[in-house]
Structure formats: C-alpha cells, structure tokens
Chain A
Amino acid sequence: MTPTDTRLQVMWNRLLAVVEEQGQALIRAAFSPIVRECGDISAGIFDLKGRMLAQAVTGTPGHINTMAEAVKTLRGRFPIQEMKPGDIYMTNDPWIASGHLNDFLLMMPVFYKGRVVGFTSCTSHLVDLGGQGMGPEGTDIYDEGLLIPPCRLMAAGALNTFLMEVVKANSREPVANEGDIYALIACCETGARRLADMMAEFGIDDLDRLADYIIDTSYRGTLEAIAELPRGRWHATLKVDGYEQEIELCAALTVSADRVEVDFTGTSGLSRKGINVPLNYATAYTVFALRCIIGPEIPNNAGSLAPFHVNGPENCILNARHPAPVAMRHTLGQMTPDLIYGCLSQALPGRVPAEGASCMYDLPLRHTPEAVARGGTQFALELVFSGGTGARPGLDGLSATAFPSGVWGSQVETTEAVAPVLITRRELRQDSGGAGRLRGGLGQRIEMRSATDEDVMLFLSVERVLNPARGRQGGGTGAAGRIRIGEDGADLPGKGEIRVPAGETLIFETPGGGGYGPAGERDRAQVLRDLAEGLISAEAARDIYGVEP
C-alpha cells in the first residue's frame, strides 16, 4: 500500500457513503409502505464499464445482484456516445430489473468534464402497476400489469411526459407512482452530483484506478474467504407449500478455488400462479445467504460478487421465464436461503443456522367491494408479521424476527389509527420454537377483527403452513404457520383470498424456527429460564428436554 492507496480508500468510503445517502433519500420520499417499512430499494454507483463499485445496504436482499446485472444490460442497450448530461433510463422488466413489475430501475450516466465517467442507478417498489394488482392470481405477466421495456425517461434533463402519463394511466395509485418516480430521479441525480463533486475534490478525471482498486481488493478478499471453505459439491432439497401443489426446491453447491456455484437442477416446474421466481431474483437471495457466511464484511460490488454463480434449468420455478406470472416472487425467493443453507451446512458444519420461518407473513387487508358501494371506508393495509429464525450454532433463534428479508413489523397503535381494524392479541407462541441444544426463535400469534360492522378482505401468500422449518444437527422442527377464523375455525391454506366476517376474529400464527443440536443437550439452566419466561411449557420442559422444574 502506498500513501495514494489511503486516498483510494478514502474515496471508496466516500462512494459507500454516497450510495447510503442516495438510499436514504429514496426511502424518505417513497410512497409504498413496502419501501418505507422494508427499505425495499437499491442504490448504486457504477464505473464506465458498468461494473458496480458500491451499493447501499438496504432492508431487503432482493436487489443484491439484480441491480449489478441490470445496469450492464441497460448500458449495453444504449450507446454511450449518444448519452447526454441529464439523460435517465428506466425499466421495470422483471427479467432485467428486480423480478416483478412493481420494481422500477433507473440508470443515469454521470458526466464529468464533458465525458461519461460512470453511472448511478436505483430501484424502488411502486405501489400499483394495474393488472390484477399485487397478488398471485395473474396467469401470466400480461395479467400482472404494465411492463415498460428499457427506455429513456429523461432526455437531457427533460422528462418524457408521455411515458409518465402512461405509467399513471395504468395504475390505481397514479399520484403515488408519479411521486415514486420523481423520488427515483432525484436519487440518481444526487448520486451523480456527489460523484462529480468527489472527483473534483480529489482531482481525478476518471474512475479507472479507483474502480480497479475497489474491485481487485474486494475480489481478493472474497477469494480468501472462499479459500477457507472445503472444496466439493453438496446437494440439498427443500419442500415448500407452493400454491396448487407442494413444490420441491433443489440445489447443488460447488465450491472450487475461485468460484462458488449454485445450480437449481431438479427443482419443480412453474406454478400457474404468480409465485414463480425469475433467476435474477433467486440469485439475489442465494448470494445474500452465501455472503452472510462467506466474507460478510466485504461490501457488495462487482469484485465481491464475481466469484458467485447461480444457474437453473429454464422454467424451473426458480428460473421462470417470460411470460410466467411473477408478482409474488418473494414468497419463494425468501425460501432459497434455507435451501442454500441445506447445502452449506454440509460443507461447514457448525457455522450455519437451522431453517427459519423465512417467508414473511404478509397480511394485506382491504375493504370489501360491497362496503365501498354502500359508502363505507375504502382502505388498504399492508401488515407484515414475522416468524422465528432458525437457531444459530452458538445462539438461540430470534423470535418474531425477519430473515432473510429485512422487513420492519408495524405497531398496533399506528395500524389501528389509520385503518378500521382492531388487533386484540400479538404475543409469542409458546413452544413454537424448534427444540434443540439451541432453540429456534418463536413465532407469534395475532388476533384481529374488523373494528366496524363491515367484513374485511385478506390476500394471503405465505409459506411454512404445510412444511415447517426443520432443525439442524438433530434439532427439532419449528411450529408450522396456522391461519383460521375463530379458535375452532378450519385451518386455511397459506395462499388465496379470505373474507373475515365482521365480529369474527382472524387468528394468524406465524411459524417458529428450527432448533440446532439435540434437545437433550440443552443446558438445564436455559431450559429453566425458558420455562420461567413462559417461552416453553412445563410439558415441553419435561417431555422434550427432560427437565422437571
């Protein structure tokens, strides 16, 4: 390292700060609750070749390499010599941007001293793109709403107003969509301005040396982390609930000197419903899961992502191709880390957590059509509840905590202030954490009803109702998710539309995480503590852990 390298490091830190700045600006201005509560956005800076140099660490891993690939695609579509200062390009093509129509990606060339020196890019989730709306009921992508192929949104600083009108005319939430697109534009512009400022401050005219430094350093660091893994090939299978039928997800993980490969061969074919996953999105969650274990401290960029390769046969459900419906691609996308950890735990026993609830328990509530016809309140509420995470090799799982997504849960008081619902219970489910030397995280039990005399509609797309989280190394299974109306009501499936009649209570129980290691090996003091805290019952202490208080 030379003194100049410290300057390169300072510039790298600056780029990381700039992308975080962009990300925050985007989240603050967003209209979609999923952006606000989950930070479902992405922001990054790219060099002239389209290599990603820095990416904001945001709430959801679903953008990790989708953005890196998307910018390469857009850069290939539009010749650099035709780009002008103030140009911005846009698309929401699920197979280019981020796996479903709601995610809009923008890319802006950054000009410095009259030349393009790099790009800024960002992605954000828009509230509504028409079609059948956000839900699994579309039969193909055309049902799911408006697809905008890569195009120029801003030409030399002037907005393509026709395009904006098209987006608005095709949405149930035109005002919010317009606001979100403006927020994306501002995000790109901020990043571009900061990048040019930095180049002026440090007196550089191009990003070449800096880009090489960032990418080489990260690539080398990632290879060192990979070198600590054993080499070989491991297989795993994960059975998930699916929609019409249960689905098998299969993966083979191959570790060699300079590559980590995942292949989904053997995975079930497409669903007729919108739970299919484009490969870019499955890749994002796969790489996220791997990078949590392999070199997590190295920032995401073209260098640290380069050794990871993900493939799957065309039109297996983790590589759904156009025109498959993909609106709810996150339902299965979020299950892929458990699949990957099934492989990785064989390579690295003692390093990888047990399976968890994984899929977020999204609870989108709406008014009924007839209530609005009667003049009742129109409302749309997007509540997200989490189950328990899998026990870690050295720690119990986390109760009612999102993983792999970084979604935030809501607060009962704010929910009840803005929507006509009453939540009467939200507590941990005793005994729902998988037993083990390390216990899985607990799920939670939510009871809610309409606060008025109108029914409420609910649209479900959740997992682990039929296939609970499995333990690892002899650990027990976590409790399955369970949804019903009234204590004695029949169990409802995890996907589909439900009507909650006025006066009746929806009981919504999220899954627990799997345990780690045999329950018999759990420290007696910890069993007694769990018992004192009411996390396990006296029966479980006695029957499962063999501990009499």
Chain B
Amino acid sequence: MTQTNGPASDQGAGHLTEPTSRQAGDSGEPFLVVEDLTVRFPTADGLVQAVSGLSYSIEQGSTLGIVGESGSGKSVSSLAVMGLHDAKRTQMSGSIRVGGTEVLGLSNDRMRRIRGREVAMIFQDPLTALHPFYKVGAQISEAYRAHHDVSKAKARAKAIEMLDRVGIPQARTRVDDYPHQFSGGMRQRAMIAMALVNDPSLLIADEPTTALDVTVQAQILDLLQELQKDFNSAIIIITHDLGVVAEMADDVMVMYGGRAVEYGRTREILVHPEMPYTWGLLASVPDVTADPDARLIPIQGNPPSLLRPPSGCAFHPRCPHTGKVPGDLCRTTLPELTRGEHGDEHLKRCHLPDPSAIYEQEILPEIAPDLVEMTVKDEFPAEVGTGLVEDSPSDDALPKER
C-alpha cells in the first residue's frame, strides 16, 4: 500500500486508497476524488456548516463506508457528489471529480448527464423514494431512457431484465406493479435496479437498509455486493451501522460535525480505532452474543450544532478523554487529520497522545470483554476486514424473496 503524497493531512486523505490497475479514465486518479469539500447552507439563523474540509477518494469497484450520526454531514457530502443541492441555497467549495471531470459548479444540464449515468443513488426509504403514482417498471425505464435513446418497448425490456437481475420474482408481470404492491425489500431491490440500469461507475447508497426489516437488510447488502462484482461499480455506503461497514466496506470514513474524524482501511479502523468518537460508535453496537442484561453504552450528549460548532475539536464537549490531552488543546485547537499509530492506511483527527493504549486498556475490556482474551490482532480482523464476506450466515438462514 503506497501513500503517494507526503505527510497525511486533509488533502492527503484522498490518496489513501490503493492506486491499482482499476483506474477510471487516463488521469490516473481514482474514479471519485473529493478534495477539501465544504458545504454550507445560509439560513435565517446563520450559516449551517454542514461539511467542512472533507477529502476522500474511491477506486472503481471498491466500497467506502461513511459512518456517522444524523447531522454529521454524511448524506450532505454525498448529495453534493450527485449535484443534488439547490445551487441557490447552498455554498460549496473544494473539488469533486467524477471520472476526471470536475462536477462542482457544473451546469445543471451537464450535471444531469452525469447523474444516474455515472453516479447513481439509492435512498433510505424506498417507499417514499419511488413515485407512488407510477408503475415500478415505468420508473426504471424512465431512468434508462433519460440516458439512452431507445424505444419504450426496449426500455421496458431493460426494466424487466434489471428487475430479474435484482431478484424480483416474475419480473415480467411485476414490472407493471405499483410501488405499494411491492414489499419493503422488493422496493429497495427495485430502487437498486433503477440505480444500476444505466451501469453507473459509482453507486451511492444512503442508509439503504435502515428502513427495512432486519431479515431483509442482509439480503439487500448481499445483493449490492453481488451486483458490485458484476457491474464493477464503486459503492459509497452511508450508514450509522458499523455492522454494515464491517460487511461491505473496503475503506471507512467516520464523520463527526461535518468533518472526517477517522479514515482508513475498514479492518484497520475497526481493530485499531484511535478516535474516541469511533470508540463510542463501537461501544453502542449491540452484540447478540453478549450478556443479555448488559447495557448498551451510549455516547453521552447531543450532536454538535452545525450553526455554532464547538471550538477546537467538535467532539470535545462529549469526549470523556479530554483530560488526557495536555493543556486545553481539545477546546482550543482543531486537530489535523494525521496518520494513526498503525501505519499509512489510517488517518485520525485527535489530540490524544497514545490512543491505542487507551483503547486496548480502557475501552475494549468494557465493550467486548471476551475479545480481550483473544489475540485481538489475529482473530478479529480476518472476520470483519475483508469487506466481501461470501457466505454470510444470513444467506442460508433467511428466506429469500427471489
């Protein structure tokens, strides 16, 4: 794994991912490069600083998980990639390059040709994301015809093919169903079919399983992974569920208060988290194998105001570890996104001088006592870090819709 650009910083984060042969375009840069992205919304109460100085990149065919709580800027940054913010009500700066094309400030008409074709998106609630008045098939063929000059009959055939591909049974007849005649899982499958009908290079999935039954969630994630291999598209999966990240993502970026606070290879971040907010996220994941009486450990306090963000590190008002930082640094100075203790694949935004020691000695015994006895570095990562888990238990244990 090579880091191509000197000391890690906000800018350097973009080069974190591996430059391999799966390049988009001739420029030699990853398919999607976001650099120093800032998104603000002027409101009557002031300027909402939704995203600040965000940089990341994704290679063709790989998956980035963006994790954070509501208001962390994870959805806002992805909508910016799609150009879905109202230009009149949004201030954006920085750079977003899709396949080498700068899309920030692109005219609406040119952006329209990228949307759906180069970059497609699926949303949290497929019931509200599909138009209730139009047939599912018509909505898919509409997406296809927006970018392909084909007859309605051809587009319909394509819609049937895609519905079949995402595992809708009897696609030939279900193509004429309305969204309300589909189950929740089928609707999200239809959304995926609609997103992939133009074979986009990047699929942004904004909490694709949050609104679904737990039993269906795993099927949708499996489907996404399966289709990712077939279509070789990159995926950004936005979630607050670290379990989803562990299963899906090659890289993970943890966001807090509009900034990346930890960014790196998924196995790295999950095994050696170095930022107290990430620890908090890990601690609040329920563990089915744990003692049923054990209480979840929530992160104290509320998400920061984006109107008047806290000084210094945005997380400091909720951080239980500020005392371990010399001086008043957490409150006064915004930490840079710097290299973690475990190598180049890991960036973190934290002043703590020795985060790994604190994590292993204080946090880990509390959130996963059984893991401490195991040799953490060898056993745990193999399970969570690979990104593409072939035979996840959900595959066999759950009844399939298809």
Query: Do A and B interact?
Result: no
* Chain A residues with a Cβ under 8 A of chain B: none
B interface list, Cβ under 8 A from A: none
